Structure 1
Amino acid sequence: MSKYSIESFVNETKEKPEQRDYFELEKPALLEINLNNQSVWTKMGSMVSYVGNINFERQGMLSGGLGNLLKKAISGEGARLMKAEGTGKLYVADEGKKVRILYLNNESVCVNGNDVLAHEQSVKSDITMLKSIAGVMSGGLFQVRLSGTGHIAITTHGEPLTLMVTPDAPVFTDPNATVAWSGNLTPDLKTNVSFKSLIGRGSGEEFQMKFSGNGWVLIQPYEEVYRIER
């Protein structure tokens, strides 16, 4: 049989049925979620296929309580999550970005809102804001804090790099290349240029996120322009 035959192609690329984890990395850019009368939150528009009996419900603007209503209305986060519920296999992806699965064990992590692909219903999500004019200009104002116990899936452009933060060695990052950081850290946004020089800027080098304390920050080799979806 030729290695280029259709049969060879199917055997090489077909689903691996022996894998049955709740969150499974089927391919580097494709997440498989195995639902057994369960529900999960996924990024709006990320579903590429499913097998079984799964229903989808768009998250309402009031989901998560009134406390997040204003932040969701401003950021568009309220329109970016989809609830999938039922039994079957669900496949989600985001523009070919690489998927990373993390299991939180009564822990928390902060993720740029555009890089959250999915999380278990048991994981609590809260939108956090960095109150700075630089944050508004960069599009990096809104992040999602994921906390509790359960699986989450995040996405990165290319292979990410984790930088360790210590009290004597703070880490500075471009907001558009910053994916996630440990939940105990609260970054500051700083700029060394005047407000008028931000107008018409072409990149994020004019301002940075500063991480201080003990923890880690995840960056990607790509400056992502975050979209606000409504």
Structure 2
Amino acid sequence: MSRYTLEEFLEATRQTDRQQGFFELENSRLLELNLGAPSMPSEAWIKAGAMVGYTGQVRFTREGLLEQGVGNLLKKAVSGEGARLTKAQGVGRVYLADAAKKVTILRLEGEAIYVNGNDLLAFETPIRNEIKMMKRISGLLAGGLFNVRLQGSGLVAITTHYDPVTLCVTPGCPVHTDPNATVAWSGTLEPTLRTDVSLKTFFGRGSGDSIQMEFDGEGFVVIQPMEEVYFQSGA
């Protein structure tokens, strides 16, 4: 067969059902949700705007104003699109992606994890979610101070630019990260923001990034090898 034919392209890119479960990696950057299949749930929370295709009978509903309580409502009002969710319900396959970022599936078994709101792609509906806002210097990192705390049992899909790296945090040995490169961390940790804003920083002679997240205690932090760029919606 000659190369570069349409038939060859279709065969190489054809969707394949690996029957791996409710959340399935179609490839490293595309997540498939198998809604309503035998023994599969019929709904999931997904990041607003992350659906790139679907088959079957599926409807999409934006998260209700008071669905997660008044506290979450107020935080969503100022956190931008990264923290907004849509519920996918029905029977069919839904394909999710976010700016061609790499997708990783995690299974929670009663644990809690924090995920940067911009890096949360999807999660099962039994998992409780709550937006957390870092209170200090909230005006300096537009969109980057809002994180989602997930707790319960079920599947979670997160996204990263390229391969993530996990750093271990132990008592007395804090870990410092760039907020825009920080993807997730264990629910046992409460980060604080450290600032090193000086005149030298503005002239490019600072010792490093002027704002860092500090994690102290026992747990883990997931970072990515690229700083996230946040876009605030004007809608």
Q: TM-score, normalised by structure 1?
A: 0.91
- The correspondence of residues 129-208 of structure 1 with structure 2, limited to 5 A, is 129-133=133-137, 135-139=138-142, 140-194=144-198, 205-208=209-212
2:12 match: secondary structure: helix
Cα distance in structure 1, aligned partners of 2:121 and 2:203? 31
Q: Quick one: distance in 1 between partners of 2:203 and 2:164?
A: 28
CA RMSD of the aligned region, Å?
Answer: 2.3
Give, in angstroms, the shift of residue 79 of structure 1.
7.2
> Residues 38-93 of structure 1, C-alpha deviation per residue, up to 9 Å, x if partnerless?
11111111111101000111113222012222112121369721111000100010
Give the structure 2 partner of residue 124 of structure 1: 128
Change (3 A) 1:155 1:79: closer
1:57 corresponds in structure 2 to 61
Q: Aligned-pair distance for 1:227?
A: 2.5
In structure 2, the residue matched to 1:115 is 119
Deviation of the 1:158 alpha carbon: 1.1
* Alignment map for 1:190-229 (pairs within 5 Å): 190-194=194-198, 205-229=209-233
Residues 61 and 73 in structure 1, CA contact (< 8 A), matched pair in contact too: no
| Counterparts in 2 of 1:166 and 1:6: CA distance versus 1, 3 Å | same
Where do 4+ consecutive residues of structure 1 move more than 3 Å? 76-79, 196-201
Distance 1:64 1:18 in 2: 34
The code of the aligned residue for 1:179 comes to: V
One-letter identity of the residue aligned with 1:80: R
Deviation at residue 103 of structure 1 after TM alignment: 0.6
Deviation at 1:198, TM superposition (A): 8.1
Q: Which runs of 5+ in 2 are unaligned?
A: none
Q: Give the TM-score normalised by the residue count of structure 2.
A: 0.89
**1:157 Cα deviation after fit:** 0.8
The percent identity for this pair of structures is 53
The answer to whether the Cα contact below 8 Å between 1:177 and 1:220 also exists between their aligned partners in 2 is yes
Change beyond 3 A, Cα 1:198–1:80? farther
Per the alignment, residue 15 of structure 1 pairs with 15
- Per the TM alignment, residue 31 of structure 1 is displaced from its structure 2 partner at its CA by 0.2
Q: Distance in 2 between matches of 1:44 and 1:82?
A: 5
- Structure 1: stretches of 5+ with no match in the other structure: none
Q: Which residue does the alignment assign to 2:106?
A: 102
Q: Which amino acid aligns with 1:4?
A: Y
**What displacement does 1:151 show?**
0.6
Q: CA deviation at 1:207?
A: 1.1
Partner of 1:31: 31
Distance verdict in 2 for CA 1:78–1:62, change over 3 Å? farther
Q: Distance in 1 between matches of 2:203 and 2:133?
A: 23
1:200/1:55 Cα in 2 relative to 1: closer, same or farther (>3 Å)? Answer: farther
Secondary structure of the structure 2 residue equivalent to 1:136: coil
